[in-house]
C-alpha cells in the first residue's frame, strides 16, 4: 500500500494543507523575535498523514524549525515514524550559527518534504531542495500545486518581510494610521487615542510582530510615547530598533533616556537617509507610528510597503482598510484581515 506521502505531486492533499496551516500558525507566534532570521514553521507527519510534531524557529542562534521538530520527535520517541515533513520555507543547506536543516531531515526516515516557499536569498535558493532530492527525497513545492494558491499565499505572507530583506536589502515597512470620522489624526483633548479596544489590541500586536518602529520628533513632542507593547503579551527580552525622523536636539532628554532602555534609538534628520538607516539594522519588519507630516513624506518618497488605516465612524465603530504595493502582505495573517476583506477595503495600489 502506498504511503500518504506518495500521493500525486500535482495536487496538495487535504492533510498537507492542514499541516501547512499548523506550521504557519506556529511560526506566526514567533514573528517579531526571529530577526535577522525568517520565521519558519515545520510539521512532521507519519505515513497516514497524522501529525507527529509541530515546531517553529524561536530566535536567531537557536535551532531552526526543522531541526527543532526532529529533536522533539526524538524526545517523544516517534522519529522512526517520520514520513513527511511540511516546511513553510525551503530548508537551508548551509552552516551558519546552526547546522544545515537538510542534514537534520536526512537523519530521519523522511520520504517526502513539502516546501511552502523557495528560499528568497538568491545565493542559496534551490540548494536545500536539490540536496534533499539528491538523497532520494521527494520534494513537493506548493507553487507547483493546482489547488494550493491560498496556502501558498499564507506562506508567502509569513515570509514577506524576510524576502524584502533578501531582495531589496531593507525591512518591510508597514504604516499604521488612525483617523476619526472627520478624517483627523488628532485625538480629542485629554486622550492619546480614539480607537476602540479591539483596534488598540491590533496596534499593539503590530508592535509585537515588528522589529522596529519609525516615528518623528513631532509625535515625540506631542505625545511622549513609550512605544512599548501593552494590551497583548510581548516577546521576552527584546530590544527593538527605534528610528526618530528629525533632529536629536528636538527630542526631550528624559524621554530619550526612558525609551533607550528598551530600544536602540537612531535619529534620521533627513527622510532620504531612512532607507540606509533601516538597511543597516537587522530588522525584517518595521512599523511607522507618526503624524501626518512624516506620513506624507513617506508617500512622497514611496518608503512604504503596506498601509493600514483604522477609521472610526460617527457611531464609534472602527473600520480597517489596507493598501499594499505588492501582491502579498504579512497583514493578511492577522485575524482582523477577514473583517477587512469582508468590507472589501484590502487592495493593492494600482
pLDDT at res. 350 = 31
Entry pTM: 0.91
pLDDT at residue 187, rounded to an integer: 60
Determine contact, residues 155/128, Cβ cutoff 8 Å: no
**Which residues participate in the annotated binding site for NADP(+)?**
178, 219, 223, 291-297
Annotated binding site for Zn(2+): 64, 92, 101
Q: Does the domain at residues 4-159 carry the CATH identifier 3.90.550.10?
A: no
CATH 3.40.430.10 corresponds to the domain 170-348: yes
Binding residues: 64, 92, 101, 178, 207, 219, 223, 227, 230, 289, 291-297
Q: Would you say residue 227 has pLDDT above 80?
A: yes
**Domain-by-domain residue ranges, the chain?**
4-159, 170-348
Q: Evaluate if residue 15 carries a pLDDT over 80.
A: yes
Binding residue ranges for substrate:
207, 227, 230, 289
Give residue 316's pLDDT.
74
Cβ contacts of 331 within 8 Å, gap of 6 or more: 157, 174, 306, 308, 322, 324, 337
Are 4-159 and 170-348 equal in CATH topology? Answer: no
Radius of gyration (C-alpha) of the chain in whole angstroms: 22
Average pLDDT of the segment spanning 1-28? 80
Instruction: Please name the residue that has the C-alpha cell 532607507.
Output: 275
Residue with cell 531531515: 105
Which percentage of the chain shows pLDDT scores above 90?
77
Quick check: 1 pLDDT over 50?
A: no
20 with 156: CB under 8 angstroms?
no
Query: Residue 240's closest CA among 227, 253, 231, 222?
Result: 227
Residues annotated as catalytic are: 66
Q: Indicate whether 313 pLDDT > 50.
A: yes
Average pLDDT over residues 331-342: 76
344 CB neighbour count, 10 Å cutoff: 8
pLDDT of residue 92: 92
At residue 192, does pLDDT exceed 70?
no
Question: How many Å apart are CA 165 and CA 285, to the nearest integer?
Answer: 9
Amino acid at each position: 500500500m502506498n504511503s500518504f506521502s506518495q500521493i500525486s505531486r500535482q495536487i496538495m492533499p487535504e492533510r498537507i494543507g492542514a499541516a501547512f496551516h499548523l506550521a504557519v500558525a506556529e511560526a506566526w507566534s514567533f514573528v517579531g523575535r526571529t530577526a535577522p532570521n525568517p520565521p519558519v514553521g515545520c510539521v512532521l507527519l507519519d505515513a497516514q498523514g497524522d501529525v507527529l510534531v509541530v515546531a517553529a524557529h524561536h530566535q536567531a542562534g537557536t535551532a531552526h524549525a526543522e531541526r527543532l521538530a526532529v529533536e522533539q520527535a526524538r524526545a517523544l520517541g516517534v522519529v522512526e515514524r517520520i514520513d513527511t515533513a511540511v516546511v513553510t520555507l525551503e530548508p537551508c543547506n548551509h552552516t551558519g550559527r546552526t547546522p544545515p536543516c537538510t542534514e537534520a531531515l536526512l537523519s530521519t526516515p523522511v520520504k517526502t518534504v513539502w516546501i511552502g516557499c523557495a528560499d528568497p536569498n538568491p545565493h542559496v535558493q534551490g540548494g536545500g531542495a536539490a540536496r534533499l532530492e539528491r538523497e532520494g527525497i521527494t520534494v513537493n513545492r506548493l507553487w507547483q500545486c493546482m489547488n494550493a494558491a491560498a496556502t501558498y499565499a499564507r506562506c508567502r505572507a509569513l515570509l514577506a518581510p524576510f524576502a524584502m530583506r533578501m531582495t531589496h536589502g531593507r525591512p518591510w515597512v508597514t504604516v499604521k494610521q488612525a483617523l476619526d470620522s472627520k478624517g483627523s489624526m488628532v485625538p480629542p483633548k485629554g486622550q492619546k487615542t480614539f480607537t476602540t479596544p479591539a483596534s488598540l489590541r491590533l496596534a499593539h500586536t503590530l508592535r509585537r510582530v515588528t522589529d522596529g518602529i519609525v516615528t518623528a520628533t513631532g509625535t515625540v513632542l506631542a505625545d511622549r510615547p513609550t512605544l512599548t507593547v501593552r494590551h497583548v503579551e510581548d516577546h521576552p527580552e527584546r530590544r527593538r530598533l527605534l528610528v526618530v525622523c528629525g533632529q536629536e536636539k528636538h527630542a526631550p532628554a528624559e524621554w530619550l533616556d526612558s525609551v533607550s532602555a528598551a530600544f536602540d534609538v537612531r535619529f534620521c534628520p533627513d527622510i532620504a537617509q531612512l532607507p540606509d538607516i533601516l538597511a543597516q539594522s537587522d530588522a525584517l519588519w518595521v512599523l511607522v507610528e507618526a503624524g501626518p507630516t512624516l506620513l506624507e513624506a513617506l508617500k512622497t518618497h514611496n518608503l512604504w510597503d503596506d498601509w493600514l488605516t483604522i477609521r472610526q465612524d460617527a457611531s464609534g465603530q472602527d473600520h480597517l482598510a489596507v493598501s499594499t504595493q505588492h501582491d502579498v502582505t504579512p497583514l493578511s495573517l492577522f485575524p482582523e484581515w477577514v473583517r477587512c476583506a469582508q468590507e472589501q477595503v484590502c487592495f493593492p495600489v494600482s
